Chains A and B, each alone.
Chain A
């Protein structure tokens, strides 16, 4: 067991944040109902998969406190939100693209957009 931190890793608490982390299945222990999974940085952990079985290597799971609680959204579901935007392309419900005519004055919008862009990019 590694050294115990005074706080959870990354300043996020598992239960308080209700965190579910996307992990990819590397291999399965079918007999014990466990999967070896890894995150984007290659860190691996053993995950209980009884709630989302059957799973296959390569699948992405949402994992909370060592247990997979759902399978990660499908590519289709992710793309649906991504297609909304100022280009006026197909949107969820068609509402979002139509709104750009109602943005506030260019001056305020520009400074507000700069603040928001910083704020959103900080989180990546």
Chain B
């Protein structure tokens, strides 16, 4: 679409880069975290980090909902997919994520009826077209995606579709951010915040970041100039000794979020007491499950999964990458036994995972192009 060109204007990019240079103190190291796979992708596709001064480092947080799903949860999905009479519908994002017994793609090759959909509406349509089968939609994603699932569950009930079920693995962004900020030794100067999550939940849920932890938080759009401007806004706060929530993505994000989305989520979901995150352990109230009123649509009640906790392969360091503790190239198997073609961990499977982004955009070593 035409307007996108305005957010990719090289002249503006140079200007923002120069402004960023003017805001940093020589000798001070800045570490900024982006928590959204879309931002990771933009940064490496457009080489945003090369436009930054040497002492501004970008790290990638746990914002890729595919990457944070533990292997045991993938096993749960495969177990349901293998049940007689089930059509298992999921986003393509999940097909190649390794569980302990393989991937959903491999389960499909072995005979399970696994189908890729691009929306929960697609899965509902499958259910209507196959009334004699149960269609289980594997719902993943953060708060950007959860309302879509909630609305589809409401629609299934309203339209009397009784063979549409959901295996809910939606996660929420605030608890892992808090868990990171509470981690001993965790150093960070500010967050480039998830713009589309903020479109749903607003900016208020992120006020705790400056209020309790004294760090700036800027909700960012996804074009390269959006990300650069967000970095500039964080550094401007730091230069002024301020910490606040700011909205770079004002053209889309309202402060109060989307009330209709929040109401739908409130009606259909409830927080799980705890949920396991790959590489981060168990985090309280960090994921959603289907609320009692919609219990008959919960796939895990009709088809109870094994629910076993599976440790990551010993050589996998996805957890450290997801916390920003190491860069992808610092993982002992990055680019050698772990590649997009043969991924050991989820960070390499998802194109927006930090490892895949680094690998696909040629960042195989710690080297920045001087500009």
Contacts and interface: CB of A to CB of B under 8 A. Distances in A.
B371 interface: yes
Interface in A27-52: 40, 45-46, 48, 50-51
A62 to B, nearest CB: 7
B251 interface: yes
Given A48-B148, A67-B151, A82 B10 contact: no
Contact of A85 (B11, B120, B141): B11
A70 B253 CA distance: 8
A120 B13 contact: yes
Contacts of A7: 92, 96, 351
A6 to B, nearest CB: 6
Contacts of A48: 119, 121, 148, 151-152, 155
Contacts, number: 217
Contacts of B63: 18
B116 to A, nearest CB: 4
B350 A73 contact: no
A56 interface: no
Greatest chain A CB density within 10 A among B126, B224, B252 is at B252
A95 to B, nearest CB: 6
B92 A18 contact: no
Contact of B145 (A22, A64, A103, A108): A64
Given A65-B119, A117-B10, A84 B15 contact: yes
A12 B96 contact: no
A12 B9 CA distance: 22
Interface in B47-75: 47, 50-51, 63-67
Interface string B5-44: 1111111111110110110000000000000111001000
Contacts of A17: 36-38, 41, 351-352
A94 to B, nearest CB: 12
Contacts of B86: none
A78 B3 contact: yes
A97 B15 CA distance: 7
A18 B194 contact: yes
Contacts of B4: 124
B118 A14 contact: yes
Contacts of A64: 144-145, 148, 196
B113 to A, nearest CB: 11
B295 interface: no
A87 B371 CA distance: 23
24 contacts: A6-B95, A11-B351, A12-B351, A15-B142, A18-B142, A19-B38, A20-B252, A40-B1, A50-B264, A51-B258, A62-B252, A66-B118, A69-B199, A70-B253, A81-B6, A81-B225, A85-B11, A86-B11, A95-B19, A96-B12, A96-B16, A115-B369, A116-B51, A124-B8
Given A18-B222, A69-B258, A116-B14, 6 more contacts: A6-B96, A16-B67, A16-B352, A70-B253, A102-B21, A120-B10
